[in-house]
Amino acid sequence: MPNDPNRDVFRAYRPVWVSLRSFACFFLLWWLLYLWNGNPLQLPSPVKVFEALWGLLREGEIAEHASVSTLRMLTALCLAIAVAVPLGFVMGLSRQAQQFIEPLVEILRPISGIAWLPLALFIFGVGDTLPVFIMFYVGFFPIVLNTMAGVKQTDPRLLAAARTMGVGPLPLLFYVLVPSALPTIMVGIRLAFAGSWAAIVAAELIGAPSGLGFAIEWYRQLLMTPKVFAFILAIGVVGYLCDLGLRALQKRLTPWAEGVGVA
Amino acid sequence: MMKHTGNESRTFSIVRNLTLPVLLIVLWHLWALALPTGSPAPTPIKVVQTLGEMLGKGDLVSATVQSLGRVLTGFSVASMLGIVLGLMMGSSQAVRENLDPIIESFRPIAPMAILPIAILLLGTGTPTALAIVAYASFFPVVVNTVHGVSRVDRKLVLAARTMGVSRFAILTRVVLPGALPSILLGTRLAMGVAWTAIIAAELAVGAKSGGGGSGGIGQMMFVFYAYNIDLNAIVVCMTVVGLVALCIDHIFKMLEKRLTPWRQEI
C-alpha cells in the first residue's frame, strides 16, 4: 500500500531502526562472547558496563576527567593554531620561507608524537605539560601543511584583480587570502583534532595524573573492568562530539567550502 | 641586480633547505657544550656515538625488525578484512546500512584506548601488539574502500551487467580496479597509523607491565627511559622511528604509482 501513513513513518525512521538493529546484534554478540569467555574481569557483560557508566556519570567522575582532557586538548589545539597558521601563511606566500622551513617540518613529521613520549617525560615530567606538548606536536603538522596548501591554492586572478584595484597588503590578506585558505585550514584543524585526540590517550596513559586516558589505566590496574569499558566509551563519545562541533564550526565559518584538503 | 643562472639559484635553494636543520643542530651542540659533565642530556656527538654502538650490537636492528614484523602482520590481516568488508559495504546497500553505524561508532575510539582491554584479554606480549595494530589500520582501509567503491563509474557496472558478466567478475574486474586508487590511499594511511600505534603499544606495554618481554623498538625506548637511563639512545630510537615511517610512506607512494598509473592526484 503506497499511501499507508504507517509505512511512511517507517521509511522516515528507517536509518534509526537499522542502526538500532545493528547495535542490538552487536550487544547480543558481546553478551554471547561474555558467556563464552566466562571471566568478567576480562570481558564484562554489557549490562555491567552500562551500570558502571551510569554510576560514573552520576558521580561526575566522567565529567571531571573528560573536562580535564578536553581542556588540555583545547589548549594544545589553540597553541597549534596560533603557531601553525601564521607559519603556514608565511610559507605559502614566500617561496624562500618555504624553502627555509619545509625541510625541518618534513624531517620532524614522520617522528610520531608518541615517539616523543620518553624524551618529553624527561623534559616535562608527569603533569599537564606533557599531554599538551604531545598534542601540540601532533596537531601542528596537519595545520601548517594545510594552511600552506590553502594559501597556495588561492586563485592568482583574484589576487591580481585585488592588486589592480589598489588593495593594500593587509586588506589583501584578510579579504582575499584568508577566505580562500580558510576551508583548507579548517580541514587541517579537524585532522589535527583527530590526531591529537588519539594521542591524548597514549600521553595520559603514561604521563599524566588525571584525564580520560589516566582513568582507563587506573581502573585496569584495579581490575575494575566495567569502568575501563565505560571510560573507553566516554573517549569515543567525547571525540565524536568534538568532531561534530568542529564540523558545525566548519560549516558556519566556511559555508562556501566543498570537500577540500590535503595530507 | 645580479642575474642568477639556473645552476646558481639551485645552489641557493639547497643552501636554504639545509640552513634551518643545520642551524638547529649547531645550536643543540653549543647548548650541549655548556652542560656540566656527566649530565644525561643528549648531545649530537653522543647520539651519533650511541647510534654506532647500537648498530654494532645489533639490538637496534633486531628491535626495529621485530616491530616492523608485527606491523606488517597486523596490517595485512586488517587490510584484507577491511578491503573485503569495504567492497561488500560499497556494493551492497543492505550490508552498508547494517555495518556503518557500528564502524562509525568505533572509529573515534583511539587504538590506544583499547590497549587496556587488549592487555586484559591477550596479555602483554605480541598478540596485544598485533591486535592494536590491526584495530588501528582497519578503519582507514575500510572507510577508503567504501569511498572508492562509491566513486566507481556506475555506467561501467551497468555496461558489464548488460553484457551478462557475473556478479563476482564485476566485483573483481570492474569495481576493484575502479576503487583501487582509493584503497591504496587507505592502506598507506593505515600503515602510517599502524606504525604510530605499534610504538605507542610497545611503549605503554613496557610502561605498564614493568618492562615485560614484549620487545620491539617502543619497548626499547621505554627501557632506555626507565631502566638504563640513556637519553642519547632514546633520540637514536626516535630517529629510527621517523626514518622507518618515511620509508614506509615512500614505498606505499611508489606502489600507488606502479599499481594505478591512470590515477589522478587525490
Q: How much of chain B exceeds pLDDT 90, in percent?
A: 17
Taking 60 as the threshold, does the pLDDT of residue B266 lie above it? no
Phi, psi (deg, nearest 5) at residue A226? -55, -35
Q: Would residue B38 be called left, alpha or beta, if left means φ above 0 and alpha means ψ between -120 and 50 degrees? A: left
From the list A91, A87, A81, A85, the residue with the least C-alpha distance to A152 is A91
Taking 50 as the threshold, does the pLDDT of residue A179 lie above it? yes
Q: What pLDDT, on the 0 to 100 scale, is given for residue B90?
A: 87
pLDDT in tens, A43-97: 888 888 888 889 888 888 888 889 999 999 999 999 999 999 999 999 998 888 8
- The answer to ipTM > 0.90 is no
Q: Quick one: CA torsion of A198, B79, B134, A74, rounded to 10 degrees?
A: 0
Smallest Cβ–Cβ distance between A110 and the set B98, B120, B242 belongs to B242
Does B119 sit within 8 Å of A22, measured CB to CB? no
Q: With a threshold of 0.90, does the pTM exceed it?
A: no
Q: What grid cell was written down for B211?
A: 618492562
pLDDT in tens, B165-188: 888 888 888 888 888 989 998 999
Smallest Cβ–Cβ distance between B199 and the set A26, A114, A122 belongs to A114
Does B120 sit within 8 Å of A42, measured CB to CB? yes
Smallest Cβ–Cβ distance between A235 and the set B102, B110, B195 belongs to B110
Residue A140 CA, distance from chain mean position: 13
Task: Walk me through the domains of chain B, giving residue ranges and CATH numbers.
Answer: 44-259 (1.10.3720.10)
Hey, of B117, B147, B235, B265, which one would you mutate to test binding to chain A, going by the most A CBs within 10 A of its CB? B117
Q: Which residues of B touch A221 (CB under 8 A)?
A: 208
Hey, of B9, B11, B17, B18, which one would you mutate to test binding to chain A, going by the most A CBs within 10 A of its CB? B17
Hey, of B67, B106, B120, B231, which one would you mutate to test binding to chain A, going by the most A CBs within 10 A of its CB? B120
Does A107 sit within 8 Å of B237, measured CB to CB? no
Q: What residue type is B112 in one-letter code?
A: M
The three-state secondary structure class of B39 is coil
pLDDT in tens, B219-229: 888 888 777 77
Q: What pLDDT, on the 0 to 100 scale, is given for residue B8?
A: 67
Helices (H) and strands (E) in chain A, counts: 12, 0
Distance between CA B56 and CA A238 in Å, rounded?
47
Q: What pLDDT, on the 0 to 100 scale, is given for residue B136?
A: 92
Does B108 sit within 8 Å of A18, measured CB to CB? no
Taking 70 as the threshold, does the pLDDT of residue B200 lie above it? yes
Does A102 sit within 8 Å of B239, measured CB to CB? no
The nearest alpha carbon in chain B to A27 belongs to B102
